[in-house]
């Protein structure tokens, strides 16, 4: 199949693309490189790359008419950590909504079979949640809109996908990944909260060896962290299968951990690998955000029941993999 990957240079799609190529698909990637200003280059395979801004409707329509993709993976979005959500709120809400609508409209015009939309666990921001009450895929429909502009943009993106099915018959698959762990995301700002928390922790604990560790809030926030390759494999294997047609799926490792415990685990693993001295890790709260969700724990029952999918990696193993990557990078720089 000919598959257009929108947002191809993000870390998740850089894990998806090699798997698509391995399955024999023709892959075309498009990205505006707004996040890092350059291509990550982690896919390690050849595919046609086009630099372009999906917020411009005329460009998107021309792109689709030239490529004529059979299927689309729509992962393009402005995305940051909690601080970035607040500082770039207008750009996030406006651009994420606009570009997704442009992709769906062009898909209808060029007879695309299906658009796989990479949504987010942030659609659950306003949903009651606890360890004993995990988030099921139908929860957002029963609660008010998410709080942050990013959560709202993903919620609206899902609704747009549903609306294009209703009005135009354009099929979709919606994926909601939960807190992906990857060695490839860079914490590109000095201040915390622009990047995702795991990237900030790796930078501040392992690379810059900050102690006390600057954190947002008191560190009691609970999340579930999922290894990137497990998420990527699900997207590749199931995005265009009949079992996922016009369905929504959580993709997560259902292993709750607080931000303090995550930091302690990264610190302990780094000590074991000789990256840090064996000393107590302490914490310093440097900022708070009232819209920071305290608990986000998913149900994976639907993905397990319908797709027989579940993650192969626990948090500790994912951290090991990231630290091994750091050791290799240190070796390269010293070599």
pLDDT value of position 38: 86
Tell how strand 2-6 and strand 26-31 pair up: parallel
How buried is residue 128: exposed, middle or buried, by Cβ count under 10 Å (0-12/13-18/19+)?
exposed
The architecture in CATH of the region 2-181+225-251 reads: 3-Layer(aba) Sandwich (3.40)
Instruction: Please give the pLDDT value at position 188.
Output: 64
| 105, two tokens | 């409209």
pTM of the model: 0.93
Q: Which helix (H) or strand (E) holds 50?
A: strand 48-51
Q: Averaged in consecutive runs of 10 residues, what is the pLDDT profile of the chain (335 residues)?
A: 96 96 97 87 93 97 98 91 76 95 98 98 93 93 90 96 98 96 76 76 92 94 95 98 98 95 96 93 90 90 97 93 79 50
pLDDT score for 194 = 64
Return the closest-CA partner of residue 102 out of 147, 30, 54, 172: 54
State the CATH architecture for 197-223+256-296+313-334: Alpha-Beta Complex (3.90)
Q: Give span(s): CATH 3.40.50.720, the chain.
A: 2-181+225-251
Neighbours of 195 (CB within 10 A): 23
List, in sequence order, every residue forming a beta bridge with 177; answer none if it has no partner.
Answer: 251
Count the neighbouring beta carbons within 10 Å of the beta carbon of residue 324.
Answer: 13
Instruction: Give whole-number Cα distances, 264 to 19, 82, 105, 193, 205, in Å.
Output: 33, 21, 46, 18, 9
Q: CATH 3.90.25 occupies which residues in the chain?
A: 197-223+256-296+313-334
Quick one: pLDDT at residue 82? Answer: 66
Q: Extract the tokens encoding 229.
A: 């390759």
Report pLDDT for 198.
87
Helices assigned H by DSSP within the chain: 11-22, 57-67, 82-87, 89-109, 149-168, 197-201, 228-238, 259-272, 301-302, 315-334
Token pair 């193993």: residue: 317
């Amino acid at each position: 199949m000919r598959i257009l990957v929108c947002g191809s240079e993000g870390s998740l799609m850089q894990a998806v693309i090699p798997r698509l190529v391995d399955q024999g698909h023709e892959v075309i990637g498009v990205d505006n490189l707004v996040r890092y200003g350059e291509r990550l280059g982690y896919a390690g395979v050849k595919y046609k790359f086009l630099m372009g801004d999906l917020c411009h409707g005329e460009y998107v329509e021309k792109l689709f008419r030239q490529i004529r993709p059979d299927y689309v993976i729509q992962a393009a979005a402005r995305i940051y950590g909690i601080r970035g959500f607040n500082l770039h709120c207008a750009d996030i809400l406006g651009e994420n909504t606009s570009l997704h609508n442009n992709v769906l409209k062009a898909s209808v015009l060029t007879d695309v079979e299906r658009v796989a939309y990479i949504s987010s666990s942030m659609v659950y921001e306003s949903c009651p949640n606890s360890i004993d009450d995990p988030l099921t895929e139908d929860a957002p429909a029963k609660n008010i809109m998410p709080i942050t502009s990013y959560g709202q943009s993903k919620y609206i993106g899902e609704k747009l996908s549903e609306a294009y099915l209703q009005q135009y018959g354009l099929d979709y698959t919606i994926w909601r990944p939960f807190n992906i762990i990857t060695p490839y995301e860079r914490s590109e700002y000095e201040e915390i909260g622009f990047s995702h928390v795991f990237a900030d922790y790796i930078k501040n604990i392992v690379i810059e060896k900050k102690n006390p560790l600057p954190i947002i809030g008191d560190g009691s926030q609970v999340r579930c962290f999922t290894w990137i390759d497990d998420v990527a494999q699900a997207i590749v294997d199931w995005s265009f299968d009949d079992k996922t047609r016009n369905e929504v799926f959580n993709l997560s490792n259902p292993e709750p951990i607080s931000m303090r415990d995550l930091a302690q685990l990264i610190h302990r693993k780094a000590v074991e690998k000789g990256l840090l001295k064996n000393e107590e890790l302490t914490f310093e709260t440097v900022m708070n955000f009232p819209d920071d969700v305290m608990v986000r724990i998913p149900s994976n029952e639907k993905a397990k029941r319908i797709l027989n999918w579940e993650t192969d990696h626990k948090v500790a193993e994912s951290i090991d993999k990231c630290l091994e990557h750091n050791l290799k990078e240190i070796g390269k720089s010293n070599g």
